[in-house]
Structure 1
């Protein structure tokens, strides 16, 4: 193979495959769809989230395509070319088996062609470098992933949903400028990961990235931690003074996590630094200039905190120049399948296991609400890899709260004899109020999710005597 091909980065494989303008499916060894090209979605009239994570056998039964070429490849354990009906059209689909290092089935890849196109170019399809490059990069992608796991450089910021693509584009744009960034999102969505990504895509990537969790430092120590102090500044201070994190981040990036926890008395000093890039260490008599980019993050609603007098409006607007909202997992559900399998492979390697998911487990995990987002997902997958009784992770291995949540979602409305419409509606309302209360950090967020006012939500909590302990 031409060595110049090695200059293309494997991480762009999925983008390259979309540009090939061919119907392409990639499944795991069990027939679960991992990737589907854009044109494939158009041909079957489905969105990516309706296909990814589904088993090809099930889609075959639903008539999405007849027959399933991936299923034939995996059953026969060999490459095939088959006349296939997709939607209302017919074409030739070639199926290819990808083996692991032990020559065991790892993936099935199918490519679709129009019949005239296939007949006219079949010899070229087998021999041209384009297809060779395709397989080469597929293998390289897996090797790269394994390498990242081994070196613990885990890029958990992965996905292929439209929401994910838009977020990735935003990150790349803001990385190229020096303006302050404010990252918002629920607990566990990956705010630190996004901050690190912005830094590593910026011109400051070779300079320090300093992470300060404002909620983890006692209020009285936060100022000295951030700005530093001169020798003799206060009783108990280091005799030689101390450099603050701003000084340590010189020419680099300072990430202020949980920015909503910065006390009011300290906010004017931070505002001064953001406006003028100057600050004054404790005990100093003159300001110090600094070249540091600030990225801040919070899971709080800073606008509400401003209205409540808990956060300065001028600081909020100074931080809010380039806002980035990271959507929770429930808003990018088509990415859950990618994350599940990525984390499964990662923790299999770390704990020396060969776990797989049963189809039912994948279904439950994809439909789960994930209130703790990516962090919760990683923790649960690691727990399953360590604690599963067999190599195939089954429903019995799942934590009880996941099963309870799934059961709640699947339970239909029960019309018992003697129940009036009013009683049935109250039962449904109580269930929705309870679920929202447990799935959200605050009553304000829960009320917003249900589309009601916070005061109405609080009245319903009191009416039904719902507490955090209630399950």
Structure 2
């Protein structure tokens, strides 16, 4: 059978036209015998202009370049190459030489691999990005961790606090820092030390609540050799001695044992102290800063804190507002901590706009400490680079759902909704602070304005 006879059967050609791959047939001299519909489309040339022509002519007309048929006939072997069509699509083209009884037949098979190449290109691009990303992470980890910025804010409350801190840093007197748990009282103490003329001397932080009562005196003032059973045979310098020339920060001052308060008073008044077992007092060149989240005045009235010690500590009082009182500082605190913990853990996370909205309106009962812990948790546990509401703890997600109730209820006008919200805010503030004067200060209103609304809404101090 001659090769040309194969294509005299209509049914045979119909079967070949069903195939989506291109099929190009030529005889042993390179003359085109027949092409299927797919090959016609790939070559962008009608069958009538292909059949009967030699592949060298078609190659000269740039219809195919190179001609795989020509390469097969020259090499007498199977040839595979990659070619592009007019439309920019890519094909893997394989030519086969078939030896029939009377003559040779060359079959060229073309398969569209455009999508596969694109996927491969994307894979290579992804791998390149991963390599770059890994390199950036390694560079970040190799860089020294910058110091954590602790004293952050931009609102009026923070500016007022910063002004007071700067003034306090310039005088060598005792300071009492008060505020809720987690507001950053230690950061305020450190800032005062850094701005003072003692900044190049030690800053010794003592948590009075963390030292056992039986060891408090010896830890604070030190002890002489052999002062008590189990003591270091060489004696020990106390924390006061370690702070010489610098600042001694007494955190949680309310926890100092009542029987040791007179000795602390001596240190405050005379800048002298007596190590355990010694008979001669020692002088201390230190600046003392104390901090507490408790009401020392109330403790004084109850007899659990000495009156003379209270007044000696409270020479320059500094109140650190909670995050509820300085909401404008929440965003810079979030961003600063996100940058720090990204660097610390080698991540490149960022907050979605929805998360920022939720966190700006969250109550932050744990203040800055809660904020810092949350940001680190999100950097470590979020699965994607963008931190979304689904990454937030259930507690905050629930709070966000509750906050969403501040929208118009069914059959409620805007004025009615505003009054409902106003009543809720004033009621909660009055319940918390107990007096109209303090509530007015917190709300930024006049006292008479608060009193009018309390009367209007029938609010009582214990109303939830």
**TM-score of the two chains, using structure 1 as the length reference:** 0.57
- Which residue of 1 is the match for residue 216 of structure 2? 222
Q: Say which one has the larger Rg.
A: 2
Match of 1:334 among 305, 316, 328: 328
SS in 2 for 1:285: coil
Q: 1:406 deviation in Å?
A: 2.5
The structure-2 alpha-carbon separation of the partners of 1:167 and 1:243, relative to structure 1 and needing over 3 Å to count, comes to: same
1:216 to partner: Cα distance: 0.4
**1:384 positional shift:** 1.0
Matches within 5 A, 1:73-88: none
Gaps of 5+ in 1: 1-101, 103-145, 417-427, 437-443, 462-471
**What is the CA-CA distance between 1:201 and the residue it aligns to?**
0.9
Q: Could you say what secondary structure the match of 2:276 adopts?
A: coil
Q: 1:247 to 1:267 in 2, by over 3 A?
A: same
SS at match of 2:335: helix
Helix, strand or coil at the partner of 1:195: helix
Deviation string for 1:325-378 (max 9, x for gaps)? 111111111111111111112222222222221111101000001111111111
| Secondary structure in 2 matching 1:324 | strand
Q: For residues 401 and 211 of structure 2, what CA distance do their matches in structure 1 show?
A: 41
2:288 maps to 1:294: yes
Q: Does 1:194 align with 2:188?
A: yes
Counting only pairs closer than 5 Å after superposition, residues 11-410 of structure 1 correspond to structure 2 as: 150-410=144-404
* Cα shift at 1:202: 0.8
Q: In structure 1, what is the equivalent of residue 7 of structure 2? A: none
Output the CA distance in 2 between the equivalents of 1:248 and 1:156: 24
Q: Deviations over 1:249-297 (max 9, x none)?
A: 1111111000000011000110011011111111111211111110101
Q: Which runs of 5+ in 2 are unaligned?
A: 1-128, 130-139, 411-421, 441-453, 455-459
Farther off after superposition, 348-357 or 211-220: 348-357
CA, structure 1 residues 220+414, in 2 after alignment: closer, same or farther (shift >3 Å)? Answer: farther
Deviation at 1:200, TM superposition (A): 1.2
Q: Post-superposition shift, 1:446?
A: 7.7
Q: Which runs of 4+ in 1 moved over 6 A?
A: 413-416, 428-433, 444-452
CA shift, 1:412, in A, is 5.3
Aligned residues: 298
The question of whether the paired residues in 1 share the 8 Å contact of 2:193 and 2:199 is answered with yes
Three-state SS of the structure 1 residue aligned to 2:372 is helix
- The two structures, once aligned, show a CA RMSD in angstroms of 3.4
Alpha-carbon contact 2:145-2:344 (below 8 Å) kept: no
TM-fit CA distance, 1:175: 0.7
Distance 1:223 1:445 in 2: 38
In structure 2, the residue corresponding to 1:212 is in which secondary structure? Answer: strand
| Residue in 2 that maps onto 1:56 | none
Instruction: Say which SS state the counterpart of residue 205 (structure 2) adopts.
Output: strand
Q: Distance in 1 between matches of 2:206 and 2:217?
A: 12
Shift of 1:208: 0.9
1:203 match: secondary structure:
coil
CA distance in 1, matches of 2:426, 2:163: 35
Equivalent-residue separation in structure 2 for 1:294 and 1:324 (angstroms): 14
Aligned to 1:129: none
Q: How much has 1:156 moved relative to structure 2?
A: 2.3
